[in-house]
Structure 1
Amino acid sequence: MVNGINSNSMRIGGLASGIDTDSIIADLMKAERIPLQKMKQDKIWTEWTRDAYRELNTKFSQFDQLFSSMKRASSYKVKSAISSQSDAITAKASSGTPPGSYSIEVSQLATNAINVSSTGISTDPSNKIDPLAPLSEQMDKLGGGTLPSSLSFTTYQNDPAGEVHEIQIDATDSLSDVLTKISDGTGINAFYDVQTDKVVMETKATGDFNVGGNEIDFSSDGGFFANIFNITNAGEKGGTNAKFNYNGGIDLESKTNTTTVNGLTLTFNNVTSGQARISVTNDVDKAVDSITEFVNKYNELIESVNGKVTEKRHRDYKPLTEEQKKDMSESEIELWEEKAKSGMLKSDSMLSSALTGMRQDWYQTVDTGNADINHLSAIGITTSKSYSDNGKLVIDEEKLRAALQNDSDAVYKLFYNTDENNQGLVNRLESSVKQTMENINNRAGKTTWTDEQYTLGKKLKDMETRMDDFQERLTDVENRYWRQFTAMEKAIQKMNQQSAYLSQQFGGM
């Protein structure tokens, strides 16, 4: 500073007047910045409001994910199946299986076809073939001769007419390599057992696919399997279908040991001792659990929404600016902001409307085909009588169990029915929830959205623009104050200089 003048900004301090210009202008600017502070607080409040909406939308989204399970018949019409011979046969009942007793008698299991070398493939048991060395170099161990360039066999799992597999053999292929080629994409497992010195070939699938013939047919082979592996068609065993009688009235077969009849999925582990009884009943426990979980999640959702729309607003607690936080401790800031954030969504019309809509969805009647089960209260679900619960649902479990036991189809239709003129409760509720989520997104957006895509984002962007403009105005105001005080200082300085000059002149007379 030269002669009281700032060389950078040409601002003159109070050297001439003795006034603390910096402090005076700083105090003046504090008053000027009051509107900016309010703008900052409004922006913070708007950001908090946006985040509060998004937090609630997350809860709506979590509840929305439950609708898929509530649309499945298995959530209501759960059946349990108990076998009288569970060591031989087990069963699972689908939602469409009629409750009752079924008899199953299993006389034969489905088996894989298997063929094993009739004798060890090595001519000298004390000098067995090395399964990892080139096969062409060990033909003397297999009785001599030349290694063929290919082998052939036929399977029937994928083609009733037979599927011929041509396997090419290279001179460098080991026994292990050849067996790997045989097993690759042919439906066959082939391996060599070192201890017995035998090759094993078996079908990966159970069942009789070539009635009256072999499942693995070597008729098209030129002698490789017979001469080198000691395997012929005559050695095959297995390849059978499971055979069983259903309800004493019909003999059935299955290529696997798991099959489905009349909605019953049966698994055969052994032949039965006479008839096994399969008892199918409505599994009310699981259905009650599914419905109870859904109702509980709904209650949690409306508790959260109600909490926001009824939360007390503390208007005296404004959002803290960064400048204000500097003079406060962490605990003081936390307590202050807890009050400041309270009531952001109080009496919010959009959320209040959503609550009303969801309550109305629950109270609709649905034509289920059963006049006794056409309303939520008919299955024991009613609105809580406690005013403080704000519309939560309560379940009379005994009544719900009775409805599920008597007519689970009607309960299912009460909740889920796609008929546009007779929608189920879940269908209506889902529409309301998705509409609410869309409304919240339009107002508060998603974290991946830009400000221009939602209402509060546009408002925040506008606030930032106004704050930037106001900040520029403050800079102009501060410069004006400095110009005014600088002009005053210059005038005083000039007067002081003139006074000193006059004093000097009068003093010399």
Structure 2
Amino acid sequence: MTIQFSGLATGLETGSIIEQLMNVERMPIARLEADKTWLSNRLSAFTELDSKLKSFADGIKDLNYRDTLLQRSVNQSSTETLTASVSREAHTGANYQVEVVALAQVQKSVSSGFAEDARFGTGSLTLTVGENIHTIELEEATNSLQDIMAAINTADLGVTAAIINDGTEAPLRLILTGADVASTFSLDDSGLTGGTTSLGSFNLDDGTGTIINPPIQAASRAHIRVDTIDIYSDSNTLTEAIPGVTVDLLKVREGETTTLNIGLDKGSIKATIEAFAKGYNEVMSFISSQSVIDQKGGGILGGDASMNTIKRRLQNMLTQTTPNSGVFSTMSQLGFETQRDGTLVVNDQTLSAAIDNNLDSVVSLLAGEEGAVGAATQFKDYLFAMTNSGTGMLSGKKESVDNNLKRIDTRITSMESRLEQRQKTLESQFSAMEMLVSGLNAQSSYLTQQMDSLSNMMNYRRR
């Protein structure tokens, strides 16, 4: 490592001078770094624009198809026994009378109480689940109630076991629960011998038709009647009983019916159309924030041709005529009104009247019909093309920015290498200057000494 003492001969701060000269030399690199920041900020802005375009596209996807636009609703006379929800497959104008006869439930069996130190002998327990028979072997070291519970759960035959403590003198009870309504089961302990107590059998015919320890809750399927037609299910949620309607059963009320009326959800239809204006406005507001207006404002994308092209395209699609068989041909007829800043407001009265009086024409305008592309479909297709991950606007911008950043980095690396050599050259030159000045100073000092000696000799002779 070279140690340099700056300005010892000249008195100049050569280290500071070199630093300042190098700062001047580095100014082009500083400009390149600023260019990198500018490019990165532009890419961030394009990414934000892409996000708003995607959000707009997602918000209008339900306008693109007739079925998704015409959302259904269900009105029920009571919510005491069931609740219902509908999808677009439900038939509008239909009504159904639904009676809840039985709820789906799994089998549950509970043992009598046992002491915590109870042991149940050795041998085999037989667990029968439907047609499946499983034998559980108990030994001296594995015949506690906890061991039996673990063995049943490990068997994984559609029955789970648990233990509860009821707080009595014999507090432990074994609870067996079927996995589903089809899992009827029995447990036979006749294969056990010895032990301090008997486990007891569950739901087992003693041979005379009497059930030993019957379940506290028998397995049963859900049973409803829809317009007097009996329908059964293994679940209390029925999705296929009524087309497009999901019915969740809550309580049995045999002989009592709940009326379900299926209609169009005009409130949701209206909200879906209004969502178009929200997505459109978010895009336009972002573009306006980037634009210079009356020589004021402006963002990093101000003046960008691609951004302005998007703006003009969206505005043109908003005002163009969309041929169809209905009474509406432009978005403005649905109540969309353009403001001076380019955003939209929706005239609630105009939109409500269009939905109430000419809903089919609203759908034809937005979703299209055979041989005619709807206005919302045109927006959706354009937005999807612009936000395509491989060929969209952001993809092209990112590739261009990445290429420019690579070129700048290459130039910076080259310039840094050259400046490193330049700094070494300056240091050598100033070091040489210091050595030269130091030599001259030494000569000057020597000559001064010689002149002083000569002067002293001459003065002596004169005396």
User: TM-score, normalised on structure 2?
Assistant: 0.72
- Give the aligned partner of residue 21 of structure 1: 12
Q: Which residues of 2 match residues 72-111 of structure 1 at below 5 A? A: 76-111=69-104
Are residues 1:352 and 2:334 paired? Answer: no
- Give the aligned partner of residue 245 of structure 1: 225
In the superposition, relative to structure 1, how do residues 421 and 230 fare at CA in structure 2: closer, same or farther (>3 Å)?
closer
Q: Is the 8 A contact 2:74 2:261 kept in 1?
A: yes
Q: Aligned with 1:87: secondary structure?
A: coil
Are residues 1:229 and 2:201 paired? Answer: yes
In the superposition, relative to structure 1, how do residues 69 and 254 fare at CA in structure 2: closer, same or farther (>3 Å)?
farther
Q: 1:282 aligns with which of 264, 278, 284?
A: 264
1:344 and 1:495 map into 2 onto residues whose CA distance is 64
2:310 and 2:418 map into 1 onto residues whose CA distance is 39
Amino acid at match of 2:85: K
Q: Which residues of 2 match residues 22-421 of structure 1 at below 5 A? A: 22=13, 26=16, 30=20, 33-58=23-48, 60-61=50-51, 64=54, 67-68=57-58, 70-71=60-61, 76-112=69-105, 114=107, 116=109, 129-130=114-115, 133-136=118-121, 147-155=122-130, 163-171=131-139, 172-182=142-152, 185-190=156-161, 201-206=176-181, 209=182, 216=184, 218=186, 223=190, 228-229=200-201, 231-233=203-205, 234=211, 235=214, 238-247=218-227, 250-260=229-239, 261-269=242-250, 270-271=252-253, 273-293=255-275, 295-310=277-292, 344-360=300-316, 371-372=326-327, 375-382=330-337, 384-386=338-340, 389=341, 391-402=342-353, 407=359, 411=363, 414=366
Q: Is the 8 A contact 1:295 1:393 kept in 2?
A: yes
Deviations 1:240-298 (A, max 9, x none): 333333345x4433232221211011122232654322123333334444554564344
Q: Aligned with 2:302: secondary structure?
A: coil
Moved more, 347-356 or 194-203: 194-203
2:385 and 2:3 map into 1 onto residues whose CA distance is 66
Residue 401 of structure 1: CA displacement?
Answer: 4.3
Amino acid at match of 1:178: I
Amino acid at match of 1:462: R
1:306 and 1:313 map into 2 onto residues whose CA distance is 13
Residue 86 of structure 1: CA displacement?
Answer: 1.2
In the superposition, relative to structure 1, how do residues 460 and 21 fare at CA in structure 2: closer, same or farther (>3 Å)?
same
Q: Is the 8 A contact 1:61 1:437 kept in 2?
A: no
Residue 191 of structure 1: CA displacement?
Answer: 5.3
In the superposition, relative to structure 1, how do residues 231 and 488 fare at CA in structure 2: closer, same or farther (>3 Å)?
closer
Residue 221 of structure 1: CA displacement?
Answer: 6.0
Deviations 1:170-212 (A, max 9, x none): 2223234334544553333555676799765453424xx5xxx
- Give the aligned partner of residue 419 of structure 2: 470
Q: Is the 8 A contact 1:21 1:485 kept in 2?
A: no
2:106 and 2:289 map into 1 onto residues whose CA distance is 67
In the superposition, relative to structure 1, how do residues 455 and 293 fare at CA in structure 2: closer, same or farther (>3 Å)?
farther
- Give the aligned partner of residue 461 of structure 2: none
In the superposition, relative to structure 1, how do residues 39 and 115 fare at CA in structure 2: closer, same or farther (>3 Å)?
closer
- Give the aligned partner of residue 385 of structure 2: 431
2:295 and 2:429 map into 1 onto residues whose CA distance is 41
Q: Aligned with 1:112: secondary structure?
A: coil
- Give the aligned partner of residue 332 of structure 1: none
Q: Is the 8 A contact 1:414 1:424 kept in 2?
A: no
Residue 310 of structure 1: CA displacement?
Answer: 2.8
RMSD: 4.5
Q: Is the 8 A contact 1:152 1:167 kept in 2?
A: yes
Higher strand share: 2
Q: Is the 8 A contact 2:129 2:159 kept in 1?
A: no
Amino acid at match of 1:436: M
1:375 and 1:14 map into 2 onto residues whose CA distance is 87
Q: Is the 8 A contact 2:129 2:157 kept in 1?
A: no
Q: Is the 8 A contact 1:189 1:203 kept in 2?
A: yes
1:497 and 1:311 map into 2 onto residues whose CA distance is 76
Q: Aligned with 1:508: secondary structure?
A: helix
Residue 164 of structure 1: CA displacement?
Answer: 0.3
Number of equivalences: 424
Deviations 1:374-418 (A, max 9, x none): 654454335x230xx2x333333344445556548964993699x
Unpaired segments ≥5 residues, structure 2: 193-197, 206-210, 459-463
Q: 1:505 aligns with which of 449, 454, 457?
A: 454
Q: Is the 8 A contact 1:114 1:203 kept in 2?
A: yes
Q: Aligned with 1:469: secondary structure?
A: helix
Moved more, 83-92 or 184-193: 184-193
Q: Aligned with 1:245: secondary structure?
A: strand
Residue 491 of structure 1: CA displacement?
Answer: 4.0
Moved more, 266-275 or 352-361: 352-361
2:20 and 2:172 map into 1 onto residues whose CA distance is 98
1:456 and 1:304 map into 2 onto residues whose CA distance is 25
Amino acid at match of 1:255: D
Residue 165 of structure 1: CA displacement?
Answer: 3.4
1:258 and 1:460 map into 2 onto residues whose CA distance is 62
Q: Is the 8 A contact 2:126 2:188 kept in 1?
A: yes
Q: Aligned with 1:431: secondary structure?
A: helix
In the superposition, relative to structure 1, how do residues 343 and 109 fare at CA in structure 2: closer, same or farther (>3 Å)?
closer
Amino acid at match of 2:305: S
Q: Aligned with 1:462: secondary structure?
A: helix
Amino acid at match of 1:34: V
Q: Is the 8 A contact 2:97 2:260 kept in 1?
A: yes
- Give the aligned partner of residue 440 of structure 1: 397
Q: Is the 8 A contact 1:309 1:346 kept in 2?
A: yes
